[in-house]
Amino acid sequence: MTAGTFTAMGQDWEDLAKEAEGHERIVVNMGPQHPSTHGVMRLILELDGETVKEARCGIGFLHTGIEKNLEFRTWSQAPTFVTRMDYLAPLFNETAYCLAVEKLLGITEQIPERATVIRVLLMELNRVSSHLVCLATGGMELGAVSPMLFGFEARESILDVFETVTGLRMNHAYVRPGGVATDLPDDAVSKIRELLKTLPPQLRRMSDLLTENPIWIARTRGIGYLDLTGCMALGITGPMLRSTGLPHDLRRAEPYCGYEAYEFDVQTDTGCDCYSRYLIRVREMSESLKIVEQCLDRLQPGPVMVENGKLGWPADLVVGPDGLGNSRKHIAEIMGTSMESLIHHFKLVTEGFPVPPGQVATSIECPRGELLVHAVSDGGTRPYRVHFRDPSFTNLQAVAAMCEGGMVSDVIAAVASIDPVMGGVDR
Q: 302-312 pLDDT, tens per residue?
A: 989 898 877 87
Residue 352 has pLDDT above 70, yes or no: yes
Give the pLDDT confidence score for residue 293 in this predicted structure: 95
**Every domain of the chain and the residues it spans:** 13-58, 66-310+355-425, 313-352
Residue 353 has pLDDT above 70, yes or no: yes
* Rounded CA separation 45/47 (Å): 6
* Rounded CA separation 373/234 (Å): 19
Give the pLDDT confidence score for residue 395 in this predicted structure: 94
What is the share, in percent, of the chain residues with pLDDT greater than 90?
A: 65
Q: Are 369 and 359 in contact (CB under 8 A)?
A: no
* Rounded CA separation 325/313 (Å): 13
Runs of H (alpha helix) within 71-187:
79-82, 90-105, 113-141, 145-166
Give the pLDDT confidence score for residue 238 in this predicted structure: 93
Residue 123 has pLDDT above 50, yes or no: yes
* Rounded CA separation 92/365 (Å): 8
* Rounded CA separation 63/130 (Å): 21
* Rounded CA separation 146/92 (Å): 28
* Average pLDDT along the chain: 89
How large is the average pLDDT for residues 293-301?
94
* Rounded CA separation 272/236 (Å): 12
Distance of CA 112 to the CA centre of its chain: 25
Residue 321 has pLDDT above 50, yes or no: yes
Q: 357-406 pLDDT, tens per residue?
A: 999 999 999 999 999 999 999 999 999 999 999 999 999 999 999 999 99
* Rounded CA separation 268/283 (Å): 9
What is the share, in percent, of the chain residues with pLDDT greater than 70?
A: 92
Q: 25-78 pLDDT, tens per residue?
A: 788 888 777 766 777 888 899 988 889 999 999 888 888 899 999 999 999 899
Residue 330 has pLDDT above 80, yes or no: no
Q: Are 278 and 252 in contact (CB under 8 A)?
A: no
Q: Are 168 and 303 in contact (CB under 8 A)?
A: no
How large is the average pLDDT for residues 253-282?
95
Give the β-pairing of 42-48 and 51-58.
antiparallel
**What number does CATH give the domain 66-310+355-425?**
1.10.645.10
Give the pLDDT confidence score for residue 89 in this predicted structure: 94
Give the pLDDT confidence score for residue 1 in this predicted structure: 40
Q: 148-187 pLDDT, tens per residue?
A: 999 999 999 999 999 999 888 999 999 999 999 888 988 8
Phi and psi dihedrals of 82, rounded to 5? Answer: -65, -25
Is the pTM for the entire model greater than 0.85?
yes
Other CB atoms within 10 Å distance of the CB of residue 418: 27
384 contacts: CB under 8 Å, gap ≥ 6: 71, 376, 377, 378
